[in-house]
Amino acid sequence: MALTYEQSGVNISEGNRAVELMKKSVQKTYREGVVGDIGLFSGGFSLKAFKDMEDPILLASTDGVGTKILISQELGIHNTVGIDLVAMCVNDLICQGAKPLFFLDYIASGHLEAEKISQLVQGISDACVESLCSLIGGETAEMPGLYGEEEYDLAGFSVGIVDREKMIDGSKIQEGDILIGLKSSGIHSNGYSLVRRLFLEELGMKLTDPLKGTNKSLGEVLLTPTKLYVQPILKVLEEVDLKGIVNITGGGFIENIPRILPEGLNAQVDVNTWEKLPIFKAIEESELIEFKEMYRSLNMGIGMVLVCRPEEEEKVLKSLSRCGEEAVKIGSIVKGNKECELIK
């Protein structure tokens, strides 16, 4: 009998069925500028609509979801990590003031199941819609032997646009400027190797165990999708020229905030200015992770930090509030050596 690709573990027909299932999810993300449709060999996007920009700059970002996927796989919940995938990319783009234009995804698995892929893409699609971003392409790869039967991994790539004169890079930050923190929805998508080690191994919890202070299980809380900050920050930028925007991802406060600081300045953050979510309270109460390590590895309840002039603090806070965002002043810019100072 002749050997087939399916006998090797790759089902082309199931891949085609997955594409059919995801079509509606993909097409609902289309915005002005999309060229072509799903099924072509590449995605197209026209920049014709941006004639008002004097010097349009394309910015690109790529990322994955990390070991958060292991929780998704164990619980059999697949429609949330797609949101994380988009958020990890577009939240980086907005840090330089770029409006997301389009997104592409890559999904690799050991065994392709059309329904599971459709759930993943549904999450990606929902996040693209919320981020004003079009899903114009992607790739699904079935790789038995490299991944286990139930295993998969995700990667994403997004492109945004900004006029060069409006691009935000932190160079205008001065002593006395204000730090405003936008609250996170939870752990987001960084630090899961540490969090999993803490709760599942050191504390001996199960994902199905209830988490103190919530009406949810530990697994449900850990699968809370990364917050999407694109629309509220774009609204702020319509009213205020922000001096800096920081996505608190891998590296937490200690590594990320200094990335935008000019020489001779520090960011001083008072960690008592916001109420911690139950998941972060549980991490603190375990006393198994040192203070500095928590703020170096996790967002600790603040997903994005904005830098503005002192006189624009209230305008920024009011704009964010109108968008439904919880935000608070968490510190200020002081003299220093491009470091983040944490005040307990």
pLDDT tens by residue, 230-271:
999 999 999 999 999 999 998 999 999 999 999 999 999 999
Reading the block at residue 322, the tokens are 């109108």
Q: Got the DSSP string for 262-275?
A: PTTEEEEEETTSSP
207 plus 299 within the same structural domain: yes
Residue 20 lies in a domain: yes
- Residue 92: is its pLDDT beyond 80? yes
157 plus 185 within the same structural domain: no
- Residue 188: is its pLDDT beyond 80? yes
Q: pLDDT tens digits, residue range 194-237? A: 999 999 999 999 999 999 999 999 999 999 999 999 999 999 99
Mean pLDDT for 277-293 is 97
Q: How far apart are CA 232 and CA 234, in angstroms?
A: 5
Confidence of residue 321 (pLDDT cuts 50, 70, 90): very high
156 plus 182 within the same structural domain: no
CATH number at 204 reads 3.90.650.10
213 plus 234 within the same structural domain: yes
Reading the block at residue 296, the tokens are 């170096």
Q: How many domains does the chain have?
A: 2
Contacts of 263 (CB under 8 A, 6+ apart): 338
Q: Report pLDDT for 29.
A: 82
Asked if 226 and 84 touch (Cβ cutoff 8 Å), the reply is yes
Instruction: Choose one of 118, 134, 166: the last residue of a domain.
Output: 166
CATH number at 12 reads 3.30.1330.10
Confidence of residue 114 (pLDDT cuts 50, 70, 90): confident
The single-letter code of the amino acid at 310 is: P
Percent pLDDT > 70 in the chain is 95
Q: Got the DSSP string for 16-82?
A: HHHHHHHHHHHHTT--TTEES-TTSSS-EE--GGGTT-SSEEEEEEEEE-TTHHHHHHHHT--SSHH
Reading the block at residue 153, the tokens are 């991994």
Residue 39 lies in a domain: yes
148 plus 210 within the same structural domain: no
53 plus 134 within the same structural domain: yes
Q: pLDDT tens digits, residue range 17-51? A: 767 766 777 788 887 888 877 767 788 888 888 88
**Closest Cα partner for 243 from 333, 330, 342?**
333
Q: Report pLDDT for 79.
A: 92
Q: Report pLDDT for 1.
A: 63
Polymer length of the chain: 344
Q: pLDDT tens digits, residue range 290-320? A: 999 999 999 999 999 999 999 999 999 999 9
Q: Report pLDDT for 189.
A: 95
Q: Tell me the average pLDDT of the chain.
A: 93
Q: Report pLDDT for 34.
A: 85
Is the whole-model pTM more than 0.75?
Answer: yes
Confidence of residue 8 (pLDDT cuts 50, 70, 90): low
Instruction: Choose one of 166, 187, 207: the last residue of a domain.
Output: 166
159 plus 295 within the same structural domain: no
Residue 172 lies in a domain: no
138 plus 202 within the same structural domain: no
Instruction: Choose one of 166, 191, 225: the last residue of a domain.
Output: 166
Residue 269 lies in a domain: yes
155 plus 187 within the same structural domain: no
Give the domain range for residue 92.
6-166
